Amino acid sequence: MRLAEYGGAVMRVLTEMVKIWRLYPALLVALLLSCVQSVAATPDDSRPEAPESIRVVTDNNYPPFVFHGSDGRIQGLLVDQWRLWEQKTGIRVELTATDWNGALVAMREGRFDVIDTIFKTDERRQWLDFTHPYARLEVPVFFNKEISGITDIESLRGFAVAAKEGDAAVDLLRRHGIDNLLLFHDYEEIVRAAMEHKVNVFVVDKPPALYFLYKYGIQDRFRESDPLYVGQFHRAVSKGNTALLQTVEAGFAQISAAEVKAIERRWYGASISSLIPYRLILPGVALLLLLILVLIGWNQMLKRAVTRRTDDLRLSEERYRLLFNVGSDALLVVDADTQQLINVNEAAIELYGYSREELLALRITDLFSDPREGSRQIVNSGGRLHIPLRYHRKKDGIVFPVDISCSFFELNGRHFRLAAMRDISERMRTEQELRESRRFLGGLIENSGNLIFVKDREGCYTMVNRKWEAVTGLLRENVIGRTDAELFAAGDADQFRHHDLEVMESVQVIEQEETLDAAKGRRTFLSVKFPLFDSDGKVNGICGMVTDLTERRQAEEERERLRDQLSQRRKMESVGRLAGGIAHDFSTMIGIILGHVELALLKIKPDDQLHENLRAIENAARRSADLTRQLLIFARRQNVVPKMLDLNETVAGMLTMLGRLVGKDIEVIWRPGENIWPVWMDPSQIDQIIANLCTNSRDAIADVGRIAIATENVSLSSSFCTGHEGCAAGDFVLLTVADNGCGMDKDVIDMLFEPFYTTKETGHGSGLGLATIYGIVHQNNGFIKVDSKVGQGTTIRVYLPRYVGDGDRREGTEAGGGYPAGQATVLLVEDEPAILGMTREMLEKIGCNVLTATTPAEAVNRAGEYGGTINLLMTDVIMPEMNGWELSRKLQAIQPDLKLLFTSGYSADVIGHHDALEKAVHFIRKPFTLDDLAAKVGEALET
């Protein structure tokens, strides 16, 4: 037992000697430097006056020089030296330990007087003055022992190298092009990262590196290179502060070598010789000899065991070869130092396309598609190296992706690694296809026109698409993880949750209609929801695909409304056609009556009683003609002569007449708009619109009131036109007539433009005034909007299209003398015998030579047979066989200088279709008087 204790003590002593011996050179240099400083230091009576205190900053984690103890206070070799310096000099020292980078910054900013534990560099010489060095420190590379090939600073290329921020080693590494640096705040943090396998290579001052490697028990996992450089610890002051530098040097010169040794002994321990128990050496030697004898005997036993194990090893080798070649992965054994391939299996030969001899003649880097990839390695916690993706090259030049796993082992002092290579081309293709499929599906969902969402079993949203965000007005980051009850009104949320539960409980696809008060108003949806299942086949949520039916429903409602409008318009058109047909025939009869009355009046003396009777007949016929004209305007069959008008000028010219029309008790207010656009209309139509509207407003005002007339320019969008019959987007001149009369209810407004509909008493209106306005406005491609409330008055807005032409397209000529009517020959074509005879008599009364025809064919024959010149063709527009325009073409081929005068009760459509008004074609509306006919004939002949 005593010998065992001696042997154990000897081994412990030897171990401690090895540990201390590694630090001994640095300690010896420090002691020698201290002695030199002590001898060299001599009192100087000429020293400048010493300060009362100085501020010193140093590294906070550089054991054994300085570090934080378990109580949080700084301690170490330098702390004791500065405290002794304080005693020797009587100058109070404020010692601060912080991270090294912060210490440099604080010293540069002047927050400290002295900085300790600093290496001298070219950059630091520019702003610091240094003391003599007091410690020599080696700075090697520490690296994981599984990594080979690191010998100097150049071999660090390709590795991630850890270093301490602000350390001189950082500048050195960067000067040599080592840029892949991992910077830490202190040395302990670097070693702790190495322990956690986050760092495999680091450049750290040797004393603290050894201290922390032993502290964390990983000293056997790392090897060190030769020193990259040897640094020396100095103390430094701001550049030019020589007085303080002398004070610091002088203070440390007063510390004796014995005192320095005492401090170092405290932190480095006692010398090795003092630890050796000499009285135990001889028993230990004896024990060692005894052990040698035992080992010799044991060796003989081992030789016999070797013989037995040889066969086992041979069998094991056969098993190894079998396992090595059976695997599906390509296996390569690589010399870690030379990168030479030592052995390969059959899968590797098949994968790379080389023969075994060719592969074994290569290095592992020869298989890389990019040889530079070989220097980038990752070592995991088990000492295994895994590279998830590299690209290798086959013998035929094909480059392919491989997944690599390596394990390291040592045999006969040589370092090897076993690399397993797996071709992952197919896996990468599958992963790429999967990514593309997910990207396509994601794009399909995200850009779908439907609202798509996913909820878990508790109703929390886990996914919504862009359309869902747009319709609900909620952003997905505010939706994911929340329920309907947290997002929507209670009624909507209960509706959604009820339907969701129905889907999950029935485990079926269910289609339902749902509604929601969304950001854009109340919405109606068609929801198709189906259950989602987990890996066990249990329902764990639902997915919904929702179609927004709101616009479709609105479109259906709009379609119904337009259908009603179309029906109403068709009814109005039918009434118009009926009124137009009746008015045309009635106009013909009125024309005959008026013509014969006028001819009769020419034959009777004014004082004859029959003359008065004929005048009464004439007045009644003229009123009937006005009524017929209104019906034709409503039917849009009345001929007009449009021109470019300034609406303000037209209305202003009617104000005096309007004042007499509405009476003194009603005020007419005129509000003309500025820069009003021109319109293209017959001036008489404007007069009819304003007169009828003001008359209607007058009748709606019981006593005193007012009528306001205004104009303005408006530009209408397509959205405004929705719901307004006849409206089209574009520029319009708006004519507004508003009164403060009795107003109308909706039923009256709906019937307002019906012909012969009136709310007035019998004898106070025919019901054609507003119907006439309706016909005029629609004939000119405009529309009307009516707003009225009972007891609050009525506002009627007339929208007339803006005219953008160059001016009045019809430049008429005024009738005048110069062509005696009595010298003119007129070909009169009329299919109504009564009108033919009456018109012939009128033409002869004004002195014309008249040729007559009742059909176009007869007219062509008369023109061909007539030997003289026919000056004027007067023809009805609408006739059997061909219309008046076609007849004029045929006759002008016979008589090239033939003038034209058309007549009709409703000729606007026919003449307008042939662009007759633009070619100075003259027109007289039926019924006409003798004076009207004389004026028109003279005008036509003078053209």
For residue 326, the model assigns a pLDDT of 64
Q: With H, G, I as helix, E, B as strand and everything else as coil, classify residue 525.
A: strand
**Is pLDDT of 911 > 50?**
no
Q: Residue 636, class by beta-carbon neighbours within 10 Å (0-12 exposed, 13-18 middle, 19+ buried)? A: buried
The model's pLDDT over 81-97, given as tens digits with 9 standing for 90+, comes to 999 999 989 999 999 99
Number of residues that this document lists for the chain: 943
768 — pLDDT class (breaks 50, 70, 90): low
**Is pLDDT of 184 > 60?**
yes
Spatial separation of the C-alpha atoms in residues 120 and 542, rounded to whole Å: 70
729 — pLDDT class (breaks 50, 70, 90): confident
The model's pLDDT over 433-489, given as tens digits with 9 standing for 90+, comes to 888 888 888 888 888 888 899 999 999 999 999 988 888 888 989 989 999 999 998
**Is pLDDT of 8 > 50?**
no
Least confident of 15-29, 153-167, 174-188: 15-29
Spatial separation of the C-alpha atoms in residues 601 and 398, rounded to whole Å: 118
The model's pLDDT over 235-280, given as tens digits with 9 standing for 90+, comes to 999 999 999 999 999 989 999 988 888 888 888 754 433 434 445 5
Spatial separation of the C-alpha atoms in residues 123 and 5, rounded to whole Å: 57
Q: What is the DSSP pairing of strand 229-238 with strand 128-130?
A: antiparallel
For residue 935, the model assigns a pLDDT of 87
Spatial separation of the C-alpha atoms in residues 254 and 872, rounded to whole Å: 144
DSSP for 905-927 reads SS-HHHHHHTTGGGGT-EEEESS
Q: Please compute the mean of the pLDDT values over residues 861-883 and round it to a whole number.
A: 87
Spatial separation of the C-alpha atoms in residues 862 and 543, rounded to whole Å: 88
Neighbours of 699 (CB within 10 A): 19
The model's pLDDT over 376-386, given as tens digits with 9 standing for 90+, comes to 554 444 456 77
The model's pLDDT over 567-625, given as tens digits with 9 standing for 90+, comes to 766 766 666 666 666 666 677 777 778 778 878 877 888 888 787 778 778 777 776 76
Q: With beta carbons less than 8 A apart as the criterion, state whether 482 and 460 touch.
A: yes
The values of phi and psi at residue 640, to 5°, are -130, 160
Q: Return the CATH number of 327-423, one of 3.30.450.20, 3.90.420.10, 3.40.50.9100, 3.30.230.70.
A: 3.30.450.20
The values of phi and psi at residue 409, to 5°, are -150, 165
For residue 581, the model assigns a pLDDT of 65
**Is pLDDT of 388 > 50?**
yes
**Is pLDDT of 720 > 80?**
no
For residue 912, the model assigns a pLDDT of 45
684 or 179, higher pLDDT:
179
For residue 747, the model assigns a pLDDT of 67
Least confident of 13-27, 382-396, 789-803: 13-27
DSSP E strand stretches across 705-744: 705-716, 730-739
In whole numbers, what is the pLDDT of the chain averaged over residues?
A: 79
For the chain, percent of residues with pLDDT exceeding 90:
21
DSSP for 861-922 reads HHHHH--S---EEEEESS-SSS-HHHHHHHHHHHSTT-EEEEEESS-HHHHHHTTGGGGT-E
For residue 91, the model assigns a pLDDT of 93
Q: Domain residue spans in the chain?
A: 2-134+233-274, 141-226, 280-323, 327-423, 430-548, 554-634, 643-801, 821-942
For residue 212, the model assigns a pLDDT of 87
For residue 414, the model assigns a pLDDT of 86
The model's pLDDT over 512-537, given as tens digits with 9 standing for 90+, comes to 888 888 766 788 888 999 999 988 88
Q: With beta carbons less than 8 A apart as the criterion, state whether 23 and 207 touch.
A: yes
Q: Looking at the domain covering 430-548, what would its CATH class be?
A: alpha beta
For residue 737, the model assigns a pLDDT of 92
For residue 180, the model assigns a pLDDT of 86
**Is pLDDT of 290 > 60?**
yes
Q: Which residue has the tokens 């509207």?
A: 693
Q: Please compute the mean of the pLDDT values over residues 639-655 and round it to a whole number.
A: 81
The CB-side HSE value for 640 (13 A sphere, CA atoms) comes to 23
The model's pLDDT over 35-72, given as tens digits with 9 standing for 90+, comes to 334 434 444 444 456 788 999 999 888 888 888 887 88
Q: Residue 632, class by beta-carbon neighbours within 10 Å (0-12 exposed, 13-18 middle, 19+ buried)? A: buried
For residue 607, the model assigns a pLDDT of 81
* Per-residue DSSP letter, 385: E
* pTM of this prediction exceeds 0.85: no
For the chain, percent of residues with pLDDT exceeding 70:
79
Spatial separation of the C-alpha atoms in residues 764 and 839, rounded to whole Å: 35
* Per-residue DSSP letter, 345: -
- Token pair for 68: 């934080």
627 Cα distance to chain centroid: 65
Q: Please compute the mean of the pLDDT values over residues 853-864 and round it to a whole number.
A: 90
599 or 415, higher pLDDT:
415
**Is pLDDT of 499 > 70?**
yes
767 — pLDDT class (breaks 50, 70, 90): very low
Q: Return the CATH number of 141-226, one of 3.60.20.10, 3.40.50.300, 3.40.190.10, 3.90.470.20.
A: 3.40.190.10
- Residues in contact with 74: Cβ distance below 8 Å, sequence separation at least 6, in sequence order: 60, 66, 67, 68, 95, 97
The model's pLDDT over 309-367, given as tens digits with 9 standing for 90+, comes to 776 666 666 666 666 666 678 888 988 888 899 889 888 888 899 998 998 889 888 88
Q: With H, G, I as helix, E, B as strand and everything else as coil, classify residue 539.
A: strand
Q: Which residue has the tokens 């036109």?
A: 721
- The DSSP bridge partners found for residue 341 are 334
Asked if 327-423 and 430-548 have one fold, the answer is yes
7 — pLDDT class (breaks 50, 70, 90): very low
For residue 128, the model assigns a pLDDT of 94
For residue 867, the model assigns a pLDDT of 82
Spatial separation of the C-alpha atoms in residues 331 and 421, rounded to whole Å: 6
For residue 910, the model assigns a pLDDT of 43
Which range has the top average pLDDT, 363-372, 806-815, 895-904? 895-904
Fold of 643-801: Heat Shock Protein 90 (3.30.565)
167 — pLDDT class (breaks 50, 70, 90): confident
Q: Please compute the mean of the pLDDT values over residues 111-121 and round it to a whole number.
A: 92
The superfamily (CATH) of domain 821-942 is Response regulator (3.40.50.2300)
Q: With beta carbons less than 8 A apart as the criterion, state whether 89 and 82 touch.
A: no
- Token pair for 536: 């066990």
- Residues in contact with 163: Cβ distance below 8 Å, sequence separation at least 6, in sequence order: 169, 170, 173, 181, 182, 183, 184, 190, 202, 203, 204
Q: With beta carbons less than 8 A apart as the criterion, state whether 78 and 59 touch.
A: no
Sheet holding 222-224, edge to edge: 181-184, 161-164, 201-203, 141-144, 222-224
Q: Is 175 left (phi over 0), alpha (psi -120 to 50) or beta?
A: alpha
Fold of 2-134+233-274: D-Maltodextrin-Binding Protein; domain 2 (3.40.190)
For residue 734, the model assigns a pLDDT of 93
For residue 792, the model assigns a pLDDT of 84
